Structure 1
Amino acid sequence: MERTIEAQQQIADRQSLTKPQTKGERTRARLLEAAKVLLERYGYHDLKVTDVPKEAGVAAGVFYTYFKNKEELVLQLFDDVLARNIELIFTDERASNPFEAVLSANRRYVELFATGKGLNRAVGQIVDSLPEARTSWQRANWRVAEWIAKGIARHSGKGVPDETDEFAALALQAMLDSILMQTYAYRDPALAKMAKEPERLAYELSVLWYRAAYGREPSNTEKENVN
């Protein structure tokens, strides 16, 4: 958890250097933040353009100065959230062994879902409704899978991932997304206990991931040396 907090602070520090400076940039940022709040509250399908400027505290007509419609607003927000999330997941590169690397990334991934509240369900709705968002989602998944495949190849001694590594990486990524959506977005009763124990959830998922990726259990040394 300490590393997650540190990673978030590193990103916050970088983002502080690129905060909106002009009045127009600040207004646009307020509209995007308002849309995020409303998506968490109501989901994509019930999001209304008229509610966005009201939530942002700006005049109703201001919305169309920055966005053509609801879809353009949501796509911009969606891409921003994806970029920030991927940066957060891969910020920490100080793992001492393969299992720690997997667990470190999965801790942050689980935390994103655990703190996502209604935004998790909204993401699913957006991906289903907007082809452009689906493409962005797939690209983000490919980027994560590429990182996984490189790790598999590196720690198996091959150096360069082959098709089997790439397929395994996509399958592992799909497993994570499916389990975390069921746990935190759809609130599957069978996963209710795990939902209350994100650290345990991240650990169990990491063990499954490690078995699938490397064909063996993480050693006791690897388990003991994680933070």
Structure 2
Amino acid sequence: MKPPEPGKKPKPARRAQAGAAPAKPHKSRKEQAAETKERLKLATLAILERVGYRQMRIVDIAKEAGVAVGLFYHYFPDIKSITCEVLSDFMSAMTVDARQSPRGDDLFQTLRTQYLILIRHFDKHPGLMRCMIQVSDEIPEFGEIWEQANRKWTNSFARYLEKCMGGKRPSADVAVLMAYSLGSMADAMMYEYYVRKNPDLLSRVKSQEHLAKILAALTYRAVFLKNPDMGLPDENEWRGWDKG
């Protein structure tokens, strides 16, 4: 229901007419509490996206959520706890998105798809992506979650690289080192482009798809020492570089 316009009195409630739809049942206290908590979490996400963790205040969260400041403490003990919870939820949602795209036998196309998913998160939520890195150092509880998630993903990526290399696969230790190196390259590239707005990249990356292909091609070359058979970002420029 919209609030009345300034200078106008709210219209009196109409009596229920015969045959009218029954009024919606009142929500239980449990349901109301769940909705309030969700509003606080959504408000926190919005503020983290806009100004970051260090400048966020509880009074700002309460105002954004439309609740009294004192009500915040009914759900969260401090600003660290709500930040940890909302960023953990956000990271879990990112993981779910990534798992919706299965890893196939074609390394280049699989990488392109996986990178594109992460690129879209960076494009839509650059502030939250920045916050996750920042908060992982400042809130130990989230830092542990962040580290475990990164290690799990990197080791899974290492096993996938081993599988793709077939008979020429490296040792498990080398595969893990490759996975960390290549994953760090991609993360840093996206951070520079979407968070830091690096002008050298802004003037050269043409689209999300273009960036995904660049990262996939660089990763493919690092693994197989040659270009992929098809799907390069700029055929003429990259073909001349291929010595495979």
TM-score range, shorter chain: 0.7 to 0.9
Match of 1:83 in 2: 92
Report the Cα offset of residue 163 of structure 1: 0.9
- Separation in structure 1 between the aligned mates of residue 105 and residue 166 of structure 2, nearest angstrom: 17
- Separation in structure 1 between the aligned mates of residue 103 and residue 31 of structure 2, nearest angstrom: 37
Match of 1:180 in 2: 190
1:206 maps to amino acid: A
- Separation in structure 2 between the aligned mates of residue 128 and residue 99 of structure 1, nearest angstrom: 33
Identity %: 27
1:104 maps to amino acid: T
- Separation in structure 2 between the aligned mates of residue 175 and residue 132 of structure 1, nearest angstrom: 26
Report the Cα offset of residue 66 of structure 1: 0.9
Match of 1:138 in 2: 147
Matched, 1:40 2:49: yes
Identify unmatched segments of 5+ residues in structure 1: 1-20
The question of whether the paired residues in 1 share the 8 Å contact of 2:115 and 2:216 is answered with yes
User: Could you tell me the TM-score, scaled by structure 1's length?
Assistant: 0.81
Q: Deviations over 1:2-53 (max 9, x none)?
A: xxxxxxxxxxxxxxxxxxx822222111111100000111111000011112
The question of whether the paired residues in 2 share the 8 Å contact of 1:144 and 1:173 is answered with no
Match of 1:156 in 2: 165
The structure with the largest helix share of the pair is 1
- Separation in structure 1 between the aligned mates of residue 103 and residue 51 of structure 2, nearest angstrom: 39
- Separation in structure 2 between the aligned mates of residue 213 and residue 35 of structure 1, nearest angstrom: 41
- Separation in structure 1 between the aligned mates of residue 225 and residue 95 of structure 2, nearest angstrom: 27
Residue-pair matches, total? 202
Matched, 1:203 2:207: no
Q: Deviations over 1:181-225 (max 9, x none)?
A: 1111111111113565211011100001111233332123xx39x
- Separation in structure 2 between the aligned mates of residue 168 and residue 96 of structure 1, nearest angstrom: 18
The question of whether the paired residues in 2 share the 8 Å contact of 1:41 and 1:118 is answered with yes
Q: Deviations over 1:161-183 (max 9, x none)?
A: 71111111111111111111111
Match of 1:120 in 2: 129
Match of 1:213 in 2: 223
1:70 to 79, 92, 96: 79
- Separation in structure 1 between the aligned mates of residue 178 and residue 149 of structure 2, nearest angstrom: 16
- Separation in structure 2 between the aligned mates of residue 64 and residue 196 of structure 1, nearest angstrom: 46
Match of 1:8 in 2: none
2:35 to 20, 26, 39: 26
Q: CA RMSD in A?
A: 2.1
The question of whether the paired residues in 2 share the 8 Å contact of 1:120 and 1:184 is answered with no
Report the Cα offset of residue 94 of structure 1: 6.7
The question of whether the paired residues in 1 share the 8 Å contact of 2:105 and 2:164 is answered with no
1:81 maps to amino acid: F
Identify unmatched segments of 5+ residues in structure 2: 1-29, 233-244
